[in-house]
Structure 1
């Protein structure tokens, strides 16, 4: 029997699915209580310091249970000595060995490196299917540890287009209704293959029949620029792609973007958001902004605040900068924590105000949607409109397509009633 905890991004969740597949194949059964497990698996994230602290506490706690403990994910490359100090008997599995997890368990250590992008099978108990389509990144950001823990800095490894298409077709046949395409930078998909993300979407939509919705993962602004017109055209041509765009800007200041070693300007981000908004009556723009990066002055921070207001960004993932091992930014002059905290609080407040204003525009309307998950703390159900905007409803069946009358709004979600 095994117990698993997964931290971090959708790519981490896909890696957990791969490891669980291998565990089931060699005879393990999943349990929800770690005290009943023979093996405890913790799949970690190293992006932020606060997450790292929680994960290390969990590792120390589970180590004391005396079970076989496996620690996987990015933290195994970022903090291996600290993990072994807290859990001397733990088996560490870095992200490159996830695809050969059964072999890793047999060998008692990391196996051969990742040679291809393995795609997990669809779990028939879920209507959501997470598909990792690439690993690696074409950037080399000064603050980013993932280029060391997962790889990148100029290389991308993509899953074969036909393999992705066939996996999605099988999943849809088995009941999948939401397809999440994920990766470190899916806008760079296919750079190593001679095709791109739009080619993949066109092939899936052409060859995979059925009622399902595709949600796109993170689209890096510079890589997105090269495909955005074709991407908008294919989304316009078929309702089966959420009008959802996660484009991380990271800062509203060109000076800070240069310090971060990002490869685009704020004007490019503005142009992309404007093009999307002009192309779709309803769309959802999500972005990431780091506050307190070394070198960010108050005027730079105010540029980020203005950007969120000016573009009416639907959702902003605000992160306080925290120094990460092996990164250039960790050796720059740091901004005091109290200033980072103040900036984070202010930007989060502004982002919520903007999100509330955007959500109010939907109140009173009737929209198509899909029942996606249970609501917060198990209350009600969460539906997603065609732009992936969340709506709390009180009835429906997971994975079903419905029409929803919007009755209210908050900064986080809409409220609605299923009318058919």
Structure 2
């Protein structure tokens, strides 16, 4: 498991986010250590004044020199994320809620030990199963979770109903690998479960958590049809490909090859007009050659996912990959930097194209200051600022016009607010 060091600067909101990051990392089996013993460092930043910004950049430089991987989040990451790259800091800059997933090194996420649903604000977390059917050579999570153990569809539907009745407006269907739900009982039940959850009375949205391509491939057409007919489902799927090289995927012992990943993407392209593909790449796996890395770069440029997690490989004790002769840290950093730059180009294009459009969104949670985070039908993030002035709060459904874009998210303004400022048409 990863050993992490975390530092938090700024307001109470930042400290709360750091606590949530740590909770998720601990749930995944990772543990906090002093900086000198850590594999990764997390810097939760503040950007209140110019002096603070200089301090954040200096601290990022210091942390980068001490650990293999540095993750930067918080206010400065959101408002001035480019500053770190401009200063030559080799860090992965992201929203706080993306940090736990990035730190897990491509491993399956874990769920709470009792796999019970949780209501967090208006977001309901619904673990549908525990364990997976994979045997990836780099992943230690399987030692903690074991093989897939799927409760009946009816049981998960009852839990989803309870979340909706408790006030959930977004249900996040989670698990180590949602795509293999039901395999232990001899049936592939994810499509049925999603249909049943979407049939629950109420106004809410459903997000499907990570599903490995190996599990999704056999149900790709049925699953895409479920998305197409259910408006409550976010048109979003997280398919971690991990590499664009079949040779690397084989030594990773992944249950898919690149052609299966492409098949899934093509099927969803055929069934859905607008959808979001999220995927992961592990950079610097011990057997990865320059040609393998280029294949990953080519695949990223080809499929152009709207959300990408790029993680440098790090060894997990007790895994088969830990016994392989690793690549040098400098080479891994160079490959990670190249892929992160391409990722930024790809995801920035998506958000720039959204500017000027109108979107139906769900307000999911509070953001920084007087802002809220919203999600459109394809789970793209839209930030509404001055939320209290607009009378907007988590749980609301509203129409926004996208007014600006950052690489990882957009800004929007409620249409009603825009209409109030538009001059009335002149009389004829």
- Whether TM exceeds 0.5 here: the answer is yes
Q: Does 1:267 align with 2:262?
A: no
2:407 counterpart residue number: 411
Q: Paired residue for 2:309? A: 317
The secondary structure found in structure 2 opposite 1:295 is coil
| Residues 405 and 398 (structure 1), Cα distance of their counterparts in 2 relative to 1, 3 Å cut | same
Cα distance, 1:53 vs. partner?
A: 2.7
Partner of 2:116: 119
Tell me the residue number matched to 1:289. Answer: 281
Q: Which of residues 386, 391, 405 in structure 1 aligns to 2:382?
A: 391
In the alignment, the residues of structure 2 paired with residue 41 and residue 352 of structure 1 have an alpha-carbon distance, to the nearest angstrom, of 25
Local SS of the residue matching 1:288: strand
Q: Deviations over 1:49-77 (max 9, x none)?
A: 999938999xxxxxxxxxxxxxxxxxxxx
**Shift of residue 222 of structure 1?**
1.4
**Residues 194-233 of structure 1 aligned to structure 2 (within 5 Å):** 194-195=186-187, 196-206=189-199, 208-233=200-225
CA distance in 1 between partners of 2:396 and 2:266 (Å): 32
Query: Is 1:380 matched up with 2:395?
Result: no
- Which residues in structure 2 correspond to 1:183-202 (within 5 Å)? 183-195=175-187, 196-202=189-195
Q: CA separation of 1:308/1:379 partners in 2, compared to 1, >3 Å: closer, same or farther? A: farther
Q: Structure 1: any 5+ residue segments left out of the alignment?
A: 1-6, 9-31, 34-39, 58-94, 100-117
Secondary structure of the residue aligned to 1:158 is coil
After superposition, where does 1:30-109 map in structure 2 within 5 Å? 43-46=26-29, 53=38, 98-99=113-114
Contact kept? 2:225, 2:271, Cα under 8 Å: no
Distance 1:48 1:387, change over 3 A: farther
Separation in 2, partners of 1:217, 1:96? 12
1:205 deviates by 2.1
CA gap of 1:186–1:41, structure 2 versus 1, over 3 A, is closer
Cross-structure match for 1:76: none
Unaligned runs of 5+ in 2: 5-14, 17-22, 43-109, 417-428
The CA distance in 2 between the partners of 1:226 and 1:166, in whole Å, is: 27
Distance 1:280 1:246, change over 3 A: same
Whole-angstrom CA distance in 1 between matches of 2:25 and 2:112: 14
Q: Closer, same or farther in 2 for the Cα pair 1:49/1:150, shift >3 Å?
A: farther
Q: 1:379 to 1:267 in 2, by over 3 A?
A: farther
Deviation at 1:46, TM superposition (A): 4.4
Equivalent residue of 2:164, what SS? Answer: helix
Structure 2 CA distance for aligned equivalents of residues 403 and 415 of structure 1: 13
Aligned-residue offset at 1:121: 5.2
- The alignment status of 1:147 with 2:162, answered yes or no, reads no
C-alpha RMSD of matched pairs (Å): 2.8
Distance 1:98 1:187 in 2: 20
User: Cα deviations across residues 332-378 of structure 1 (Å, max 9, x unaligned)?
Assistant: 11100110011111101110110011222211111111011122x44
- CA drift of 1:43 comes to 2.8
SS of match in other structure, 1:402: strand
Judge conservation of contact 2:195–2:230 (CA < 8 Å) in 1: no
8 A Cα contact 1:47 1:146, kept in partner: no
Alpha-carbon distance between aligned partners in 2 of 1:129 and 1:227, rounded to the nearest angstrom: 25
In the superposition, the TM-score normalised over structure 1's length comes to: 0.72
- Contact 1:180/1:217 (8 A) holds in 2: yes
Structure 1: distance between partners of 2:39 and 2:339: 24
